Structure 1
Amino acid sequence: MRKLIALLLVLGLAVFSGNFVYAQDGDTDTTATEQMEDTTTAAEAEVDPIEPESPAVDAGEEEAGAEQSGYQVLKKYFIDGDWRFMSFVLVCLILGLAFCIERIITLNIATTNTDKLLARIDEHLKSGDVQGAMEVCKSTQGPTASILYEGLKNADDGAEAVEKAIVSYGSVQMGLLERGLVWISLFIAIAPMLGFMGTVIGMIQAFDRIEAVGDLSPSVVAGGIKVALLTTVFGLITAIILQIFYNYIVSKIDGIVNKMEDASIALVDIMASNNIFKQ
């Protein structure tokens, strides 16, 4: 469910940004049209017929070209790169970002202040209230609290049983933290491959045109080479973006795992110091 929500969020942002840019472009075009009409009216009202009008038109065209938005540039290159190949790369980017956003949200929720949690557990264990310490862990979100809960639940069986329970349940929590990373890795690997496939197909099209025309001129091979280059560029950009998110997620998981291990060792020491284990 969280993955679906994240995917819908990404798609909604893409649609909203596109509508906003289109609306902004529409306002710009309306303003430019009004300015052109005012310029034409002023030129017609002038007495001197020798005054040229072409510089004003050229200046307006240059301003319109300079005001071209980044979204329009991306859309132009997307179309020039042939949507049949670029669409697959775009799907990889959208799905990869959806998995990345879902993992980042989940890991941020899973982050726990272990020092504060251990301090609350220590307060209950000093009075021998193991059940109260378990309730503290149950009311705290995150994998660290779940592991400590499993350790406290086996307190009656001794320190060795507590350590085994922590190790076993820690492996389960590790699997949950790393869920979805394999899909992100897949999109990182497949996006450049799709780009390279577009490159190969574009070059094949270019050579087919050379063979059909029988002349090696830039106009003959320009289309195929443009497809080849643009698909490769977009595939590499997609892989770079997803790789940055992937490395951030992996570092986040490593930080949570280190805190889990430190908290587990500290829990055993706290239980031993408060004589919780049965003799």
Structure 2
Amino acid sequence: MEESTDFQYNLMSLFADGGMMMYALVLCSLIALGVIIAKAWTLWVAHRDTDRILAEVQELTEKGRIDDAIRVAAGTPGPAAAILLAGLRRIRQGEVRAGEIEQAVSTIGTIELGFLERGLVILATIANVAPLMGFLGTVAGMILAFGSIELAGDVNPTLVAGGIKVALLTTATGLLIAIPVNLGYNFFVSRIDKLIIDMEQGTQQILNLAWDMEQAGTLVITGVAVPRGPSSMPRPDATSASEPVSPIGPDADDSQLYDGAGD
């Protein structure tokens, strides 16, 4: 019990000796810990049922049970299930535009990827900033230590060693925070890469299903997918941009435009 009390006292003493920068470093560590716990849970849930959902949807679609496959995908969390759900809902319509299925799964994939990567910027920032904050605390501590030596007027080895020890505390703390945060960041990136492969498998499964149904005549693909956005809007030609166009028509004369204007 006494050893535990001494250990706690030593930690508090070291924390106090580190100066104001220790508060910022502790705050960074708490934020990083919260993000790591939340991200670990999110990625575990996202990957938990991926293999099962891919196999089950494949089995149901091979039997032509599209509605059952949609219910299974809707009841399963994860990016692969979301992609399967988006594709199956459009396939169930029986008639889609060319490229509509690809556009739907691509949009869902982008949204899911953004959700999976949420929080990684925070971890990367803390992993990079924590050592710099530690170095800043060390520099500030060294400045104070040399200031104390200057005031003492004598180079006392004990005074110099004590000042350097206190100054290096923030550097050690910053590195202790940055190393596990960096490891966690790299681990999460590798897990997200695995989930991207799962999403690609789901996309390929949907495209294969659409191809098989089209060949069997149960899915009709018509026309060409019209791109959305400003690029799909008609552009006026040079003539219409420089000359006003009659609201009645190009063959209308002045009498049609101004009929009754003088009454």
Residue 220 of structure 2 corresponds to 278
Residues 198, 227 of structure 1: 8 Å contact kept: no
Larger radius of gyration: 2
Residue 7 of structure 1 corresponds to none
Partner SS for 2:220: coil
Residues 203, 228 of structure 1: 8 Å contact kept: yes
Partner SS for 1:111: helix
Residue 108 of structure 1 corresponds to 44
- Tell me how far apart the structure 1 counterparts of residues 117 and 208 of structure 2 sit (CA, whole Å): 28
Residue 122 of structure 1 corresponds to 58
The one-letter amino acid of 2:80's match is T
Does structure 1 residue 85 correspond to structure 2 residue 21?
Answer: yes
Residue 61 of structure 1 corresponds to none
Q: Over residues 74-114 of structure 1, what are the superposed CA-to-partner deviations in whole Å (9 max), with x where a residue is unaligned?
A: 334323323x2212111111111111110001110111444
Q: Over residues 132-189 of structure 1, what are the superposed CA-to-partner deviations in whole Å (9 max), with x where a residue is unaligned?
A: 2211110111111011111112223156321221111100100000011111112112
Residue ranges of structure 1 left out of the alignment (5+ in a row): 1-24, 30-63
- Tell me how far apart the structure 1 counterparts of residues 180 and 140 of structure 2 sit (CA, whole Å): 25
Does structure 1 residue 132 correspond to structure 2 residue 68?
Answer: yes
The one-letter amino acid of 2:28's match is C
> Matches of residues 6-155 of structure 1 in structure 2 within 5 Å?
25=1, 29=2, 71-82=8-19, 84-155=20-91
- Tell me how far apart the structure 2 counterparts of residues 261 and 133 of structure 1 sit (CA, whole Å): 18
Residue 191 of structure 1 corresponds to 130
Q: Over residues 171-218 of structure 1, what are the superposed CA-to-partner deviations in whole Å (9 max), with x where a residue is unaligned?
A: 010000001111111211221121111111111111111211211111
Across the aligned residues of Structure 1 and Structure 2, the Cα RMSD in angstroms comes to 2.1
Relative to the length of structure 1, the TM-score reads 0.70
Q: Identity over aligned residues, as a percent?
A: 37
Does structure 1 residue 262 correspond to structure 2 residue 201?
Answer: yes
How many residue pairs are counted as aligned between the two chains? 215
> Matches of residues 213-252 of structure 1 in structure 2 within 5 Å?
213-252=152-191
**Residues 241 and 122 of structure 1, relative CA distance in 2, 3 Å threshold:** closer
- Tell me how far apart the structure 1 counterparts of residues 48 and 202 of structure 2 sit (CA, whole Å): 11
Q: Which has the higher helix share?
A: 1
Report which stretch shifted further, 214-223 or 141-150: 214-223
